[in-house]
Structure 1
Amino acid sequence: MKQTLLIPSILALALFSSCEKEETPAVKNYWPEAGVTYEIFVQSFYDSNGDSIGDFNGVTQKLDYVKELGANAIWFMPIMPSPTYHKYDVTDYKAVHPDYGTMDDFKKLLEEAHKRDIKIVIDMIINHTGSDHPWFIEAKSGRDNPYRDYYVWAQKDTIADFLNKKTITLDSDNIRQWHDPGQGEDYYYGFFWGGMPDLNFDNPKVREEIYEIGRFWLEDIGVDGFRLDAAKHIFPDDRPLDNHTFWKEFREKMVAIKPDVYLVGEVYDKKEIVAPYLPGLPALFNFDFHYTLLETMNTENGMLLANKQKEVLDFYQAITPSFIDATFSSNHDQPRILNELGSDPAKYKQAIAILLTMPGAPYLYYGEEIGMLGLKPDEHIREPFLWDKKSKDTGRAQWIKPKYSKDSTVVPLELQRADPSSYFNHYKTLIQLRNSYPALALGNLMLPETELPKTVMAYHRNTGGQEIFVVHNVGKAPVEIEVPEGFEEVIFSLGETALSSGKLKLSGNSSQVFLKK
């Protein structure tokens, strides 16, 4: 019997959301192994008191929104006191920035988040402190100061060849890494910037200070875990084994305090460098995924990402059988993904469909779900969230004049809520889909053995007897493929597709997800 099924994206959304209640799969929370984490820059999120800066109480007011989106956890960019807007140069590890509110405000946020089954992960910056931190102020006062050895020092004549370093790394464009404090011949080491002097982890006292800071946030305050900034740079790049050993020790100390602590590390590099950190940092950001996703979409090379992800997962498996692959499409350090995709809505929606149907524990950067825009410098990747039309948006942060995410370029959330084809509803539908089918959340990744058209990405997700087949045409021209036998039930569709007698026609940037009966 010949069957033809034509599903444009808006109709697919309606079909998915209007299933009979008893037939709709239960939505589960798969965090941390495969749940969704929402990254928030507090300063730009929601201003509750009218001072132009986002704050903890503003986040608390918007927790129901995070829940509505379907996220299981929030990662906060730095919240500790600092002299800069980004707050990666900490001056007090056991306090919160007064612009964001009080510690009581933060504790209230935690309490309300936990009531909604939303976990809270905070940025922990331990590679360096700020140059205004009391430790460093003491350290630079003289060679005999007890805090001197908390940092890394060298005499000017011994490092002359390194003073004008020209190598630019993936995670730093700073060409000077030894800095003059203006008090003699000794220079201090600051990998990222002179305002961020690196701590000396060869000093046991430094390590004990860091473990105590971790204890404070886990035990006294009650956060669920840490995102560990610059995890690759605890020791210099030529001491990777010391880095690996430190993170194993750090994990042991944190687990002793909180057995279910969540630790996700930023090791900004390729898989061969990233994977050995897994025994110490059970979750690691997958930068290969981010860059290959963009390359896939912009070169229309269908299997490029699927092959790369399979390669990464197999490589990680060889290091440890238990790991969390923290995938992401963009974050606070990368240009907004919609910009990277040429502001093409079809490519953007498909990129997110790929992210949320692939293995991993995906991270979403605030504002992605409404199509926010942003390019370097970093301030303009971190512009304020658009909740409503400007005339109505009393909670919109105004600490910076937006250059990219404005009412003229981005449709505010409230208007997107009412539009079934909006970015917001696209994200919401895909997150619900992912959390409704165990194979999409937890399933392994299997690639087809048959040859496919160059622009087609296809993969199987399998777990516990449930099997799902996902196919994307990342090109602009239509293609046709054979659907594997047994896959007849469509549970998600994007773009115009037509299924007839086992053959699937896919228009440009269209996707389809099948459940095997």
Structure 2
Amino acid sequence: MSKLLKFSICALSLLMAFGCEKQPKNDKEVKNYWPKAGITYEIFIQSFYDTNEDGIGDVNGVIEKLGHVQDLGANAIWFMPIMPSPSYHKYDVTDYKAIHPDYGTMEDFKKLIEEAHQRDIKVVIDMIINHTSDEHPWFLESKKGRDNPYRDYYVWAQADTIQEYLDKKVVTLDSDNIRQWHDPGFGKDYYYGFFTGDMPDLNFDNPKVREEIYDIGRFWLEEVGVDGFRLDAAKHIYPDDRAVDNHAFWNEFRAEMEKIKPDIYLVGEVYDMKEVVAPYLTGLPALFNFDFHYTLLDAFGMEDGMLLAKKQKEIIEFYEGITSDFIDATISSNHDQPRLLNELGKNPDKQKQAIAILMTMPGAPYLYYGEEIGMLGEKPDPNIREPFLWDEASKDIGRTSWMEPLNTTDKTVVPLSKQKDDVNSYYNHYKQVIKLRNTNPALAIGDLKLPSEAYPKPVMAYNRKTEAQDLMVFHNVGKKALEVDLPEAYSNVIYSLKGAKVSGDKVILPSFGSIVLEK
């Protein structure tokens, strides 16, 4: 044996001894389980990568960094709004068939789709159809008068008929707006805008509006070539007291889109409890599981491991009572919540375990850009959408500068370039657990079974199983080390975090340690 080889083996042994995570096996085929259980990476182009030195991220920047998405192991990209808009976030659209000029051209975007597809990466775009911008040509026409052809594209009412609602505060899980009826300055007629006056709601009782929306969908599927849509504010197409009409609309929308693309991917934002969410599944086969995010945080906060495992089992079974054709879009964070690391008290061990939990649970996980390098951010919203750090400031030619970051800076977050060379970095950890999922079918598409054994409160335990593979997963979400009995026949350790191990007939779980055992 050469001296160099002996040194390499010793170095590896030292890394393992001092807590480096055990690597997932490399001898299994890496599979793409999208959309049923694949991994989608959410990108805010504004903050991602700038190629024309205007301080704003652009489509060409995403093309340049597709290798990052591929190396991470993600199977698809969800783009936050890309259409022309007067706001930085672009959730108020002025033109549904164009790319915001700050981001590039439609030809740039078509090239992005082509390049992504060559890498086996799907492309999903944000579709904002609950409302438009108040600068959209439809609305500018609509407010000209009651006889205007576009008047009924929006919801209007005379002031004397809605007097009792004008100052009524309607608070929901996804909006704390203090009023929904807005005066365009005439003093007689008011229009409805659930979120803000800048975002007037479209009137989906008008067949012309519905056909406009279907035409927009057809454009992006046929002429541009996207793979699917993330449907913003899907619960609010009609008011809450017309939930049945909401469900019917999305069923109709799905049918129209499937005429163009039978395998279209539709994921909806319905921010509510499972009983409200589930009926949307027939029209929107994928729905974000916000309960996963909040229960994950609660599990850490209460040091109650089975809290999340039981909640996930409950949700899956509830959804199965509606339809077997659903995709559970699990999330650890997104553009509307504080950054995950902030939510976890800036504890790196918790963040690493959180993604290990996400990747070993059933569902189709979503990752928010920057989470893989430990980006920080708290409300208000712009501060959780800060520029990605690709390199040290002096070398980062593509870092965006459209805003001055308050949370993710060179002093608080290590840039990607440095994390790549650090085996213990967030980035390499994310790559490891994503690969673990993509090389073990039971973790991606296996059934979820909860154990009958009673474990200490901080222990999260569950079984993931397919016909060909049987895995047992343990996570200790508590601050103290624990040990549990080794389940019979589960002797093969395929992944360990924080030095979790098997010792005799026991599983040793350090604080925030995880282990995956194969039967």
The one-letter code of the counterpart of 2:439 is S
Deviations 1:108-133 (A, max 9, x none): 11110010000000000000000000
Deviation at 1:163, TM superposition (A): 1.3
For 2:6, the equivalent position in structure 1 comes to none
Deviation at 1:378, TM superposition (A): 0.2
The one-letter code of the counterpart of 1:325 is D
Match of 1:122 among 102, 120, 125: 125
Distance across 2 between alignment mates of 1:381 and 1:116: 29
For 1:213, the equivalent position in structure 2 comes to 216
Task: Judge conservation of contact 1:7–1:493 (CA < 8 Å) in 2.
Answer: no
The one-letter code of the counterpart of 1:359 is P
Distance across 1 between alignment mates of 2:503 and 2:48: 46
Partner SS for 1:459: strand
Deviation at 1:8, TM superposition (A): 5.7
For 2:230, the equivalent position in structure 1 comes to 227
The one-letter code of the counterpart of 2:66 is L
What is the 5 A alignment of 1:7-26?
A: 10-13=19-22, 15-16=23-24, 24-26=27-29
Further displaced range: 161-170 or 474-483: 161-170
Partner SS for 1:490: strand
Deviations 1:252-280 (A, max 9, x none): 00000001100000000010000000000
1:337 matched to 2:346? The reply is no
Match of 2:324 among 321, 324, 331: 321
Deviation at 1:7, TM superposition (A): 5.8
Q: What is the Cα-based RMSD across aligned positions, in Å? A: 1.1
Distance across 1 between alignment mates of 2:500 and 2:134: 57
Match of 2:443 among 440, 463, 466: 440
Distance across 2 between alignment mates of 1:42 and 1:222: 19
Task: Judge conservation of contact 1:7–1:497 (CA < 8 Å) in 2.
Answer: no
1:351 matched to 2:354? The reply is yes
Deviation at 1:502, TM superposition (A): 2.0
Match of 2:242 among 214, 218, 239: 239
Distance across 2 between alignment mates of 1:483 and 1:146: 71
The one-letter code of the counterpart of 2:200 is P
Deviation at 1:164, TM superposition (A): 1.6
Task: Judge conservation of contact 1:8–1:494 (CA < 8 Å) in 2.
Answer: no
Task: Judge conservation of contact 2:19–2:499 (CA < 8 Å) in 1.
Answer: no
For 1:48, the equivalent position in structure 2 comes to 51
Partner SS for 1:176: coil
Task: Judge conservation of contact 2:268–2:284 (CA < 8 Å) in 1.
Answer: yes
TM-score normalised according to structure 1 size = 0.96
Further displaced range: 501-510 or 211-220: 501-510
For 1:92, the equivalent position in structure 2 comes to 95
Partner SS for 1:487: coil
The one-letter code of the counterpart of 1:68 is D
Match of 1:203 among 203, 206, 209: 206
Match of 1:171 among 165, 169, 174: 174
Task: Judge conservation of contact 2:485–2:506 (CA < 8 Å) in 1.
Answer: yes
Distance across 1 between alignment mates of 2:436 and 2:458: 24
Paired residues in the alignment total: 505
Distance 1:429 1:9, change over 3 A: farther
Further displaced range: 465-474 or 35-44: 465-474
Deviations 1:163-182 (A, max 9, x none): 12223211112111100011
Partner SS for 1:278: helix
Deviation at 1:156, TM superposition (A): 0.9
The one-letter code of the counterpart of 2:21 is A
Task: Judge conservation of contact 2:20–2:423 (CA < 8 Å) in 1.
Answer: no
Task: Judge conservation of contact 1:452–1:481 (CA < 8 Å) in 2.
Answer: yes
The one-letter code of the counterpart of 1:222 is G
Distance across 2 between alignment mates of 1:380 and 1:86: 12
1:460 matched to 2:469? The reply is no
Deviation at 1:464, TM superposition (A): 2.0
What is the 5 A alignment of 1:436-515?
A: 436-515=439-518
For 1:271, the equivalent position in structure 2 comes to 274
Distance across 2 between alignment mates of 1:12 and 1:83: 46
Distance across 1 between alignment mates of 2:166 and 2:408: 39
The one-letter code of the counterpart of 1:180 is D
Percent sequence identity is 69
Match of 1:161 among 147, 161, 164: 164
Distance across 1 between alignment mates of 2:200 and 2:224: 27
Deviation at 1:298, TM superposition (A): 1.4
Deviation at 1:9, TM superposition (A): 7.7
Distance across 1 between alignment mates of 2:18 and 2:311: 28
- Name structure 1 gaps, 5 residues minimum: 1-5
- Name structure 2 gaps, 5 residues minimum: 1-14
Distance across 1 between alignment mates of 2:320 and 2:435: 28
Further displaced range: 392-401 or 183-192: 183-192
Deviations 1:369-399 (A, max 9, x none): 0000000000000000000000100100000
Partner SS for 1:351: helix
Distance across 2 between alignment mates of 1:213 and 1:206: 11
Partner SS for 1:154: strand
Distance 1:224 1:8, change over 3 A: farther
